[in-house]
């Protein structure tokens, strides 16, 4: 297998690297340089028709894209430690939090990145006012997640899962773009400190 990857701060490739680090699995990687638009080159579009990373190439030439889909496939090959849950209920709860984090948290981050950040200005027509309107949406999503974690240790309960990986990479990318967690999100900040201390977070 080969993982078509990109360095930080790209959040989606980092999800897979953290997942692999938690599993203790290493894969050969090929860097696809986003700043050089290599992800839009014909050879990469042949791997991923949307021109995105990460993409996992299997030994028979099959390509799997989308970070969660790649991680699900890797989970089936390396089930320990379980990062998608160990029971149907846990799996459903983890899936629920994946969707919620991606919609509630990642969407405003992505819109801010696309429409209000100077690095993306040459790539599209920016609507800066719209981009900036996502600042309070991100802050509100952080406060929701702060409440959602509650007394749990991790995003989807008391076990570290793929939901934590997705939330961590989203929040770290948000910080890179200039979006900060609200100061009053003490629970979320404590969670972030815990998961950032894991060796896998350096991936």
Largest CA distance in the chain: 50
Is 177 found in the same domain as 129? yes
CA distance 10 to 169: 9
Whether residue 83 lies inside any domain: the answer is no
How high is the pLDDT of residue 117? 95
Name the helix (H) or strand (E) containing 202: none
How high is the pLDDT of residue 79? 97
Burial of 65 per CB tally in 10 Å (0-12, 13-18, 19+): middle
- Supply the mean pLDDT for the chain: 97
- Residues 25-40, mean pLDDT to the nearest whole number: 94
How high is the pLDDT of residue 39? 95
pLDDT 10s digits, 105-164: 999 999 999 999 999 999 899 999 999 999 999 999 999 999 999 999 999 999 999 999
How high is the pLDDT of residue 89? 97
Is 139 found in the same domain as 63? no
Q: Where are the beta strands (DSSP E) in the chain?
A: 2-5, 29-31, 55-57, 63-65
Domains held by the chain: number: 2
Whether residue 92 lies inside any domain: the answer is yes
């Amino acid at each position: 297998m080969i993982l078509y990857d990109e360095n930080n701060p790209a959040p989606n490739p980092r999800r897979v690297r953290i997942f692999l680090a938690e599993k203790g699995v290493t894969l050969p990687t090929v860097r696809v340089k986003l700043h050089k638009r290599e992800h839009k080159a014909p050879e990469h579009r042949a791997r991923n028709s949307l021109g995105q990373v990460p993409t996992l190439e299997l030994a028979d030439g099959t390509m799997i894209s989308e970070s969660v889909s790649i991680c699900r496939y890797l989970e089936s090959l390396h089930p320990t430690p379980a990062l998608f849950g160990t029971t149907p209920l846990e799996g459903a709860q983890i899936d629920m939090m994946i969707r919620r984090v991606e919609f509630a948290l990642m969407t405003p981050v992505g819109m801010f990145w696309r429409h209000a950040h100077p690095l993306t200005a040459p790539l599209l027509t920016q609507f800066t006012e719209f981009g900036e309107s996502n600042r309070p949406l991100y802050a509100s999503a952080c406060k929701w997640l702060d409440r959602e974690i509650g007394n749990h240790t991790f995003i989807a309960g008391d076990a570290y899962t793929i939901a934590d990986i997705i939330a961590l990479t989203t929040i770290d990318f948000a910080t890179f773009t200039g979006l900060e967690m609200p100061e009053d999100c003490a629970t979320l900040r404590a969670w972030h400190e815990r998961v950032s201390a894991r060796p896998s977070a350096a991936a």
